[in-house]
């Protein structure tokens, strides 16, 4: 059973994580960010996710709720499904999930169920964040498994992409 912990401290809903903890994660987060940009181009909420095992990507995804008409088609869920298929196991031990936005309750639950030991995310989700902001599902001592969570990797880029998307949607009279 893993010991979950949150790396960073909340300050006005933003996370300050020491720079030395962020740097080794930036190349993987950049790949997740590129997937989020793809979601943006497909008129999906721009969230991207990558799962890494032994320095290789074994699953990735971006939000596809609109195109698939599936409320569960979040970037993390797609990446988790691919990673489990790649490993031939639903237990994603020794893996790291990189995602541009703090996971929601559904995705945080899947993280716990998949036994993902580490989650690295870009920006907080003040409306649905379930790793730190609203809930701490990935570190709830009542659950059998927990994850270490690192927030704030490419925070500003991830935040700006989401803001740009929702500004565009509002201008079009959507979302």
pLDDT bracket for residue 175 (50, 70, 90): low
**How confident is the model at residue 144, as a pLDDT?**
92
Distance CA(26)–CA(15), nearest Å, equals 16
pTM above 0.75, yes or no: yes
DSSP state of 139: G
Q: Is the dihedral of CA 64, 65, 69, 73 positive or negative?
A: positive
Mean pLDDT throughout 158-166?
97
- Beta carbons within 10 angstroms of residue 82's beta carbon: 18
Higher pLDDT, 22 or 60: 60
- Catalytic residue at 76? yes
Which of 26, 76, 156, 164 is an active site residue?
76
Q: Over 60: is that where the pLDDT of 28 sits? A: yes
Distance CA(97)–CA(119), nearest Å, equals 5
Q: Over 50: is that where the pLDDT of 12 sits? A: no
Q: What is the pLDDT of residues 84-113, one digit of tens each?
A: 999 999 999 999 999 999 999 999 999 999
- The vertex-104 CA angle with 21 and 145, nearest 5°, equals 65
**How confident is the model at residue 174, as a pLDDT?**
79
121 within 8 A of 51, measured Cβ to Cβ? no
């Amino acid at each position: 059973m893993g010991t979950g912990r949150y790396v960073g401290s909340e300050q006005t809903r933003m996370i300050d994580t020491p720079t030395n903890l962020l740097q080794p994660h930036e190349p993987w987060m950049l790949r997740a960010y590129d997937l989020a940009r793809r979601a943006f181009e497909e008129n999906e909420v721009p969230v991207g996710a990558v799962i890494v095992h032994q320095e290789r990507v074994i699953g990735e995804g971006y939000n596809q709720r609109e195109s698939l008409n599936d409320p569960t088609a979040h970037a993390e869920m797609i990446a988790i499904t691919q990673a489990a298929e790649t490993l031939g196991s639903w237990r994603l031990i020794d893996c790291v999930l990189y995602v541009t936005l703090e996971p929601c309750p559904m995705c945080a639950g899947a993280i716990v169920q998949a036994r993902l030991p580490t989650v690295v995310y870009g920006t907080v989700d003040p409306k649905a964040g379930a790793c730190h902001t609203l809930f701490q599902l990935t570190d709830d001592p009542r659950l059998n498994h927990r994850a270490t969570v690192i927030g704030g990797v490419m925070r500003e880029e991830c935040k700006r992409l989401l803001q740009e998307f929702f500004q565009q949607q509002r201008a079009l009279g959507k979302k």
